[in-house]
Structure 1
Amino acid sequence: MLDKAKTRLLGAVLVLASPLLAAEASAERISGREALAVMRAMDLSPELGTDSHGDPQIEFMIEGLHARLNFYDCKKQDGRCGSLQLETALDLEDGTSLRAANEFNQKYRYVRLYLDHEMDPYLQFDFEVLHTDAKSHLESQIELYGKLLRDFKDAMGYY
């Protein structure tokens, strides 16, 4: 059993640690509104909506392309999500080849190029915001995605 002094010490430690734990917990996930604010500050013309599951979804412009930010691993009680996906597609007149898609996928590790039924390419980039400052991490991932989109457009001959 804990004596009175140890109980008080444990209580003091918990009181001091609780704001730190609360701050860490809030930094581990991001809501649609928080992501919208980050994207507005980046001048991406974001529009917040919801997907078919009721999770946040943001449509925006980047590198001259329409794109979407999809939210996954969302907690219903607070609307904060732990996984995000950036997604963009190109509508090419004649589509692209499996070879071009495979070459792109071999070159890049964290992004995947897929082909639709018309052989038009679309790109998906997944990342988590757990155990980090979610807002700063989102900004850095969008900046990285912009660089990947430039390479994507070059590889697909989209100018």
Structure 2
Amino acid sequence: MTRLLTTSFLALGLGFGAAQAQVVGDIDVIANFMTDYGLPVEKTKDSDGDPKIESRIEGTNFSVYFYGCDVGQPCDSMQFSAGFNLNDPLSMDTVNDWNRGKRFGKVYIDEDGDPFIEYDINLDFDGVGAKNFDDTIDLWRVILGQFRDHIDW
């Protein structure tokens, strides 16, 4: 019986520890993780009034948009997004080459021919773990570097 109680308390303790390490759609928690990663963070709002974070990584400005943000509830997803103002419009061949060859980082061209790259993250239900979120930020850093090379930025 003592062993069963000890095992139950250990499992309960591990469960609490894991829950505390989860990143859910709370902009303050996400901003803290980004700061801990070494990124500058400016919390703002997007045009719909949803939370937004402005940041910079390896010389590239980017935004973090939040979606499904019901009042008093965490947001259920977020998106990293970076745009690049080019002197000449980016070709669809270059965009298609990227989208066909890369698993992460969807690219599109705006009305001026400038590319935007986006990376979506689901935070619904249990969110993502702290280590996974740290890895997500690192993957975003890699994606941006590869994309800058791809467009000769």
TM-score tier after normalising by the smaller chain length: 0.7 to 0.9
Tell me, in whole angstroms, the C-alpha distance in 2 between the residues paired with 1:132 and 1:46. 20
Q: Which runs of 5+ in 2 are unaligned?
A: 1-7
Kindly provide the CA deviation profile for residues 63-84 of structure 1, in whole angstroms up to 9, marking residues without a partner as x: 2111001111223124x12211
| Corresponding position: 1:120 with 2:111 | no
Q: Within 5 Å, which residues of 2 pair with 1:73-152?
A: 73-78=68-73, 80-130=74-124, 131-152=126-147
Match in the other structure for 1:153:
148
1:28–1:111 distance in 2 versus 1, CA, 3 Å: same
User: Quick one: which amino acid aligns to residue 62 of structure 1?
Assistant: I
Kindly provide the CA deviation profile for residues 72-102 of structure 1, in whole angstroms up to 9, marking residues without a partner as x: 1223124x12211000011111121110000
Q: Within 5 Å, which residues of 2 pair with 1:8-27?
A: 20=15, 24=19, 27=22
Return the index of the structure with the highest Cα Rg. 1
1:90–1:36 distance in 2 versus 1, CA, 3 Å: same
3-state SS of paired residue (2:52): strand
Following superposition, the deviation at residue 141 of structure 1 comes to 1.1
Query: Is residue 62–residue 80 contact of structure 2 (8 Å, CA) maintained in 1?
Result: yes
1:25–1:117 distance in 2 versus 1, CA, 3 Å: same
Identity fraction in percent: 26
Q: Which moved more, 1:118-127 or 1:128-137?
A: 128-137
Query: Is residue 105–residue 113 contact of structure 1 (8 Å, CA) maintained in 2?
Result: yes
Using the size of structure 1 for normalisation, the TM-score is: 0.77
User: Quick one: which amino acid aligns to residue 81 of structure 1?
Assistant: C
Tell me, in whole angstroms, the C-alpha distance in 2 between the residues paired with 1:74 and 1:91. 30
Q: Which runs of 5+ in 1 are unaligned?
A: 1-12
What CA RMSD, in Å, does the superposition of the two structures yield over aligned residues?
2.6
Match in the other structure for 1:43:
38
Instruction: Give the number of aligned pairs.
Output: 142
User: Quick one: which amino acid aligns to residue 46 of structure 2?
Assistant: D
Query: Is residue 34–residue 135 contact of structure 1 (8 Å, CA) maintained in 2?
Result: no
Tell me, in whole angstroms, the C-alpha distance in 1 between the residues paired with 2:54 and 2:60. 11
Using the size of structure 2 for normalisation, the TM-score is: 0.80
